[in-house]
Amino acid sequence: MSNQKAYEPVDTIDVMRISQELIIKNKIAYRRLATDISPQQILDEIIPQLIKLYKGHVIQIIQFENDLACINLAVLFDDSYTLTMHQSKIGKSRKLMRAINDKYGSATITIINCRYNDVHDSKKNSTHLYKARSGNAIWTRKETERADE
């Protein structure tokens, strides 16, 4: 018995077309980021939207370095933010992220979510927690702001 796989020929024209589309898409993304849009402008656009989406449950937003995107954010929640709340909002959060990436180019922004107390508990470890711990706070909730959900 032979374990050889049957390979189908690839249409060279299709490969070239797809390659060209990706090159154009990446050129647009990098041109926008390199010339007329600063990361701070993007942060100024997305942070209010995230705070509005999650209401008063956001304690901090951390920016961390990673190869995932140009801007990497960790949104840290308080303990009153439940799994049910998260499940109802994660789609909207991903939609915000996609809107930014569609507007400024793919790999412009990525967003992860963590509990604030888990990030500050050295006994807990995960890739997300490590990323959040390695970054810097770019927004912190004021003591007067409370969760209203």
Tens-digit pLDDT profile for the chain (149 aa)?
Answer: 556 667 677 777 877 777 777 766 666 555 555 556 778 888 999 999 999 999 889 999 999 988 778 889 999 999 999 999 999 999 999 999 999 988 887 778 899 999 999 999 999 999 999 999 999 999 999 875 555 54
Tell me the backbone φ, ψ of residue 56, rounded to 5 degrees: -90, 15
| pLDDT value for 119 | 95
Q: Is 74 helix (H, G, I), strand (E, B) or coil?
A: strand
Helix 39-54, helix 83-104: angle, nearest 10: 150
pTM exceeding the 0.75 threshold for the entire prediction:
no
Question: What's the distance, Cα to Cα, between the start and end of the chain in Å?
Answer: 64
| pLDDT value for 3 | 67
| pLDDT value for 29 | 59
CB of 54 within 8 A of CB of 75?
yes
Q: 64-69, long-range: CB within 8 Å, 24+ apart, which pairs?
A: 64/131, 64/132, 64/134, 64/135, 64/136, 65/134, 65/135, 66/110, 66/131, 68/107, 68/110, 69/101, 69/107, 69/108, 69/109, 69/110
- In angstroms, the CA 59 to CA 49 distance is 15
Name the amino acid, one letter, at 129.
L
